[in-house]
Each structure stands twice: as structure tokens, then as C-alpha cells.
A and B are shown apart, each in its own frame.
Chain A
Amino acid sequence: MLWELPLMPQQASTIAHKVDALYLFLWGMTAFFTLLIFALILVFAVKYKRGKVADRSNPPDTDHKLEAVWIVVPLAISLVIFGWATAIFFEQVRPPADAVEYFATGKQWMWKFQSPEGKREVNELHVPKGRNIKVTATSEDVLHDLFFPAFRTKADVLPGRYTNVWFNATKAGTYHIFCAEYCGMQHSLMIGKVIVMEPQDYERWLTTASSGTAGQTAAAGDETPAQAGERLFTQHGCQTCHQGSSGALGPALAGVSGAEVELQNGEKVKADDDYLRESILNSSAKIVKGYQAVMPNFKGQISEEDVMSLIAYIKAQK
């Protein structure tokens, strides 16, 4: 191990080689300009060394054409890089519509993951090869950052909000997960492994591996997030107000995800995951039009993971 000197990280996602191509191009450009400057300095340094006979007559003071060249050329190169890099960025930050959703919760100093099939893991994430996977993440305390070097992507993980990372793994194997945002004492131990498996191996793993190393809820078993959400929905008494019948205290929740909600103050908001999360934990922040502010704030009573399950359940009700 000691004397191997790696130069490039493993490429294990559909975007890895695209990021690498840009990276190598930029090194090429850096080498070109640095060597150009070095060469010019060297030539002048030798030719015009004090004590050396050379033509020093009429030295130019300034040259607008030259200045224009070295403003326009770097600008043009910059714009090319900008366009190229932005195209990659759009791919990194926009998960494909068919991506399957995994959940991650960061806390000092561990990662908790949950697969759509309901597997719960700590600091390990098993995923099938060749599928678009979106990891929706939040933090229970400070900032963290979910970083998959082999997939060339990362995102900060914030308390009070959802962010996501997506990838499509191309090579079976085990790769690093790092926390890349400083989060206190054991920041460098907030690491894990992503294990990419052939789809059939993954199916087998789902049925054999025992789950729930850190399941908040003892009964969690292998129920999917939506199933867990349904159970929690009853457990916390949500259905008493949200049973969906007319005259209920709270609005029906089927189909609310992604819809536009009109608030009491006339404002209209899109019911994305962040909105649903806020409606559960801090419902008094935004009151739906036509309803009373009677829903209790569940902050501190429902864990971030359970909120994710509840949202999965709400989304599943079409």
C-alpha cells in the first residue's frame, strides 16, 4: 500500500469520465500557459542578462494590440471552459425523473441510509449498478457534506432542509463516502462505503442481509419508507385530522405533493419535500387557506428519518 502513487481516482459513475476529461483539459491548458510564461522568462532572462550584448534599443512601452490579444484570448478560453463545466454541472444537479430515491441523514458523526426497499444501514450504502439513484439528505445537527469521490459528486447536507445527490454507478465495487464539510471533532471519521452491486447480487442482498442497525423505530423491520410512513401516520394520530373526508379538521393529503397550495395569506407555494417537512415539524409557519392553525408542531417528536418516511407515504397516496 505504502508506495503506490495514485494519480486519478476510480471512475465509477456515468459522469466520472466527463469530469475527468474537463480536469485533464484544464491541466493541459495550465501546462501550456505556465510553460509559455516560463519559456518567455527564460529566453528574456538569458538574452537580456545584464552584461550581455543585445539589442536594447527602442524598448516598447505598451502595445494595445498585444494587450487586446491577451485579454481576448484568455476570455475566449474561459468562456469555453465555463460552457463545458456548466453543462456537466446541470447533469450533476438535476436528477433524472426516473431516479429511485434513497434517504440519508447525517449527524455528528455518522451517516444513516435507507433504501426504497426499506433497508436501513449506517455508514454503508448498498446500491445496484446501472440504475439512476437519488439520495435525498438532511442533517440532524450541523452542516455535513455527502461526498462520493468515485462518482465525482457531492452536496452539502443541511439541517432543516433537503438536498440531494444523484448518480448512476457503472462499476461494481466498494468506494469511499466522505463527509466533506467540517462538522466538528470526528469529522474525519464520518466516512463510509458505497457498495455497488450487480443488480442480481443486489436483489439477493436485499433478501438476505439483516437490516436496521440504527432503525429509530424498533418495529421498522424491512418495511419500505412508504409503509413505515403509513404506520407512523397512525401512530402519531395524523389520520384523526387527515382522514380525507369532508369536514375533517385538516386537508386531504393525497396528491398534495408537487401541487400548488394556497395559503391563508393568499400566497401560493409549491408543495415540495421542504414544504411538506416544514408542514409536519413546524406547521404553524404556513397555514393552508380555509383551515385553522390547529395542527400541533411535531418538532422534536418525530425524527428526521421518520419525517422522510411520512413524506414518502404522502407521496405514495395519489
Chain B
Amino acid sequence: METASTISTTTAPTTMPGAANGVFEMPKVTYLNAQEGIKSWLLTGDHKRIAILYLISISVFFALGGVFASLIRIELLTPGPELDAEMYNRAFTAHGIIMVFMFLIPAIPAVLGNFLLPIMIGARDLAFPKVNLLSWYLYIIGGALTMSAMVIGGVDTGWTFYTPYSTTYSQSYVFLTGLGIFIMGFSSITTGLNFVITTHKMRAPGMTWSRLPLFVWSQYATSLVMLLGTPVIAITVVLLAAERVFGVGIFNPNLGGDPVLFQHLFWFYSHPAVYIMILPAMGVISELIAAFSRRRVFGYSFVAFSSLAIAIFGFLVWGHHLFVSGQSAYAGIIFSILSFIVAIPSAVKVFNWTTTLYKGSISYETPMLYALAFIGLFAIGGLTGLFCAALGLDVHITDTYFIIAHFHYVMVGSTVIAYLGGIHYWWPKMTGRGYPEFWGKLSALLIYVGFNLTFFPQFILGYLGMPRRYHVYPPEYQVLNILSTAGASVLAVGFMMPVFYLLWSLKYGPITGPNPWGAKGLEWETASPPPTFNFDATPIVTEEAYAYDAEADEAAYQAALQQGKR
């Protein structure tokens, strides 16, 4: 069997998957073939197999969410109606629910986190493998319930479920959808619990907290948010059901309730939830930048603690979604200033990543292109968040397309980009094979261009006043909407390409060996794909994370070049 010792990370860096084709052989026993048959997958406790289960299901949901997005963009091509209003409302609701609860929240933690967290800390598996499997089943059951609501007629409340519309007026499948989200919430909680305990208890000898890869730090912070925040959404959904099904007056003023209370409860979870979406992405970017510039992440401890700061402060800013909802002006001021403060740790990260490039030995494979795209797009996403936090300005832009543009810059421009970067980077680890670099770069480029063309015009649209969730609109907004739909078509092509070439690579991709990128980190010291229990022997950690030496790597690379020339 191939083991880590066959390749040393200090040899000349070969940074192209497949550059070393022909040199390596597939290891004979891996987590993929250790057991055979569909049953061995559905009953597995192996965190890597569960990650693959998540990868497949999440990709399906992402594609479905994309279909609804296309419907929305087609409708908005012209000012008049193409779909009827009822269908349009169901389409944007389905899009939001799928993308938020079924894709963005689980994507990086459940796929990349599940696969990598135990390996990165030198563990055999997560602390509770069966609970991990349970969390996948909860996700699938919840997802299936929510999808069944969409199949039998859909929901038309928006993913925000504002009351009293959702509890009293909506003629759609609110309860079934809520039940699905409730169950998926438990999937988040169990994953979070597993990650926190694993990080505390199962680190390999020598893997101190200050040696943890930043990806692990960010997963840890994310898990805390999941544990503390998700129960609140669960309670909120129960209260919503109580009013809708049993007529208990909680949110409907006609029944003696308070409609704004729902918004407080909803955002008390859902604002932290945006950090569940972005923190893991930040962790991925730290890994990518370090590996492709051959540098230890600049300001390691600042980057690590900024994740915790975001996780904590993220719980104190929910009220910035309620500036015009009828909450008191003084509450608005407090939430505004806290929102400005929570932006600072994000800024700290951006500056640290950028500085990491300084004196690096930088190469530009697909994952690095995604990482650099992330920095630029996240900067715009974060800075436009300040527009929303600025009270006097938010009064005008809230509930318009400006908000839509802002959160897509953060959620798509940042989270989805980081997710794709991570998938490309760890693909050789997960499958043992490399993807075609040309197609990877082309799709990254298309996504970058398509994304900006889709969402930048929406900032302008929103400031002009176009409200969100409008299926018909005044004609003066058409040009910008056409640009946006055009961009969305490019984006769609960009998103579809990886499906094809990654599937192709499963069979035809070059065999990459344990460490195709010449990167540091325990995950690169075991075989690709790894054996079931990750390591043949428990690794002992003797150095810090990212112990790169750009100067030495560069010298080795130059020498190899010279040799090649001769």
C-alpha cells in the first residue's frame, strides 16, 4: 500500500495534478473500495464516505436551486409577466429555501469539513461516526419533506416566512416546509456537536490549538454558531406551526400576537446563519492561499481569533434586518454600530490573506484562481454590507435589489466560490485523480465574469428603487435586468462545466499520488484516496501549520526547471 512516506513534501513541488502522471499508482485499499455495495455506503460510519454522500445530495439540491434561479431570471427579462404571480412567488421561495437551508448552510461543513476535519487533526474519524451518519439522514429526510411540499404545490412566503402572512394568509404548504427545515436543523446541530467534540478530544499528539489549520479553527467557530443558534430557529418554527395549525395567537395581531416578534426570532438565528455560511469559506481560503503561495498565513492568530470574534459578535446584530420594521429607533442605532464592529474581523482577514502573498512563491492553478476571486468579491460583499448597516442609507435600500446584490456577493461570490475552490483543491485527495486544469481555469473565469455581470447591476437597480420579490416592474429598470439575466446565463455555463469534467476525471483523470500540490497539512501525508482510518499510524505533529519555506521551494523549482532544460 502507498503511504505517506513515499513522497516527501520537501521535494521539488509538482503543483499540477497529473504532472506526475505515470509515477503514481492508485493505492489498492482506500476508503472508497474498502467495502463494496450500496448498503456499505448507506450504513457507513466513515466520515469520508458520509462527506461523499453529502457531496452528491448537496450537488443535486444546488442544481435544483439553480433551476429556480433560472426561472426567476427569465421572468425578470421583461417588465411584464412571463410566469404568473403565483408561480413566480413559489419560484423565488423555493430558490431561497433550497440555496440557504439545503446548500449554503451544509455545503462546506458537511462536505469538506466532514472529509477533512478528522484528517487535518490526525484523527481516525469523528468522535461519533454513527451520529454523523444520522445527521446525513436527518438532512435527507428534512430535505425530502421540504421538496415534497414544493412538488405538491409549493410555498409562497419567501424563505423568511414573515408573519402574519405565513401563519394566517398564505394558501401554501408552509407547515410541511417548516417541518423539513426543523428536521434539517437537527442535522446542523449534530454535525456541530460532533465537530466541537472531535476538535477538543481527538487531536493527534503534538496538534496543539495553535497548530490547528485555520480551516479547523473556522469549522470550530461555525460549529459553535450552529449549536447555539439552530435551537432558536427550531423553536421559531414550532411557534409558527402552533399559530398556523392551532390558531394560537403569537405573531398575528388579530389573535393578540406581535408580527415583529417573529422577525426578531427569525433573524436571531438567520443572521448568525450567514456566518455559518461564510466562516467555513474563510477557512478554505486560508488553506488555499497558504498552499499556492507557499507561505504561512500572515497573522495566523489574528485570522484564527477573528473567526471566533465573528461567531460571537454575529449573535448581536440580528436587529439590523429590522431597521424599518417598526422597532425603536434607539434599538436601530445599537444594532447599527454593532454591525459596523462585526465587519472589522472580516476586514482583518482580507488584509492578512493579501499580505500572505508577499514574498511567496505563487502559482496559479484553478483553486488559487478561486481564492483570489474570493478576496475581491468578498471585499465588495463586505463593504456593501456597510451600506446596509448605515441607518439612513438602509432605510432607502432595504428590501430592494441592493440587498439582493449584497448578499449574493457574500453568499455566492464568496461562499460558493470558496466551496468550488476547495472542491478542486481537495479533489485529488478525495478521488485520487486530478481534474483537467484547462477546463478548471476556464470555468473559474466564466463564473467570475458571469457572477459580476449578474449581480453588479442589481446594486444600481436597488438604489433606483426596484423592490425585491417583484415579478413585474416599471420599464425603466429593464436594461439593468437584461444585463443581469445575461450574466446569469454565463454563470450557469460556468457552474455546469465542473460537473462534466469532474465526473470525467473519476475515470480518466491522472493519478495524482498523496500530495500533488506539494502542500503542507496532515491530509497531504496520507494516501490519496486515504484508507478507511485515514492514517496507517497515528501521526505525530512536530511543526506549526503551514510550515512552508517559499525561498527553498522556489529554489527547488528553479533547479528542476534548469534540469528540465538540459
Please tell me if A29 contacts chain B, counting CB pairs below 8 Å: yes
Q: Which residue of A lies closest to B302 (CB)?
A: A67
What residue in chain B is nearest A2 (Cβ atoms)?
Answer: B478
Indicate if A266 sits at the interface (CB-CB under 8 A). Answer: no
Q: Which of A160-210 contact B (CB under 8 A)?
A: 160-161, 163, 176, 178-189
Q: Say whether A50 contacts B361, CB under 8 Å.
A: yes
Interface residues of A in 79-101 (CB under 8 A from B): 79, 81-82, 84-94
Highest count of chain B CB atoms <10 Å: which of A50, A155, A179: A50
A290 at the interface (CB under 8 A from B): no
- B354 CB to closest chain A CB (Å) equals 5
A205 to chain B, nearest CB (A): 24
A92 to B260, CA, bound (A): 20
Within 8 Å by CB of B464, from A29, A143, A149, lies A149
The distance in angstroms between the C-alpha atoms of A40 and B354, with both chains bound, is 7
Compute how far the CA of A6 lies from the CA of B463 in the bound complex, rounded to whole angstroms: 10
- Residue A22 CB within 8 A of the other chain: yes
Q: Are B391 and A4 in contact (CB under 8 A)?
A: no
- Residues on B with beta carbons closer than 8 Å to the beta carbon of A79: 340
Q: Within the complex, what minimum Cβ distance (angstroms) separates A19 from chain B?
A: 6
Residues in A whose Cβ lies below 8 Å from that of B340:
75, 78-79, 81-82
With an 8 Å Cβ cutoff, the count of chain B residues facing the other chain is 98
Report yes or no: A23 in contact with B474, Cβ–Cβ below 8 A.
no
Cβ contact within 8 Å between B162 and A1:
no
Contacts of A26 in B (CB 8 A): 383, 386-387, 390, 393
Whether A8 is near chain B, meaning CB under 8 Å from some CB there, is yes
Q: Does B508 contact A (CB under 8 A)?
A: no
Q: Which of B332, B396, B474 contacts A153 (CB 8 A)?
A: B396
Choose among B325, B361, B363 the residue that contacts A56 (Cβ–Cβ < 8 A). B361
Contact (Cβ within 8 A) A160 B465: no
Contact B479 A156 (CB under 8 A): no
Query: Among the listed A23, A178, A189, which residue makes an inter-chain contact with B465, where contact means beta carbons less than 8 Å apart?
Result: A178
* B173 interfacial by beta-carbon distance below 8 Å: no
Distance to closest chain A CB from B75 (angstroms): 11
A30 with B383: in contact, given A4-B476, A89-B395, A142-B165 (CB under 8 Å)? yes
The answer to whether A9 touches B354, judged by C-beta atoms less than 8 angstroms apart, is no
Q: Which residues of B contact A94 (CB under 8 A)?
A: 329
B10 within 8 A of A: no
Give the complex CA separation of A267 and B89 in angstroms: 45
Contact B470 A188 (CB under 8 A): yes
- Are B465 and A147 in contact, with the CB atoms below 8 A? yes
Q: Which of A1, A82, A87 contacts B476 (CB 8 A)?
A: A1
In angstroms, Cα B332 to Cα A88, docked, is 13
Chain B residues lying within 8 Å of A71, measured Cβ to Cβ, are 344, 347-348
* B residues adjacent to A (C-beta < 8 A): 15, 85-86, 89, 156-158, 160, 162, 164-165, 168-170, 252-254, 259-260, 293-296, 298-302, 324-326, 329, 332-333, 336-337, 340-341, 343-344, 347-348, 350-352, 354-355, 357-364, 372, 375-376, 379-380, 383-384, 386-387, 389-396, 398-400, 460, 463-465, 467-476, 478-480, 550-551, 554, 557-558, 561
- Can you name 21 A-B residue pairings with CB atoms under 8 Å? A19-B395, A26-B390, A37-B376, A40-B354, A48-B360, A49-B362, A50-B363, A60-B358, A70-B351, A71-B347, A74-B347, A75-B341, A82-B336, A86-B336, A88-B392, A91-B392, A141-B164, A142-B162, A155-B324, A159-B164, A180-B399
Q: A57-B359, A85-B392, A182-B157 are in contact. List 11 more A-B contacts (CB 8 A).
A: A6-B464, A41-B376, A50-B294, A55-B359, A56-B554, A67-B352, A74-B343, A94-B329, A158-B253, A161-B253, A176-B465
The residues of A with any CB-CB pair to B shorter than 8 Å are 1-9, 18-19, 22-23, 26, 29-30, 33-34, 37-38, 40-41, 44-45, 48-51, 53-63, 66-67, 70-71, 74-75, 78-79, 81-82, 84-94, 108, 141-143, 145, 147, 149-150, 152-156, 158-161, 163, 176, 178-189
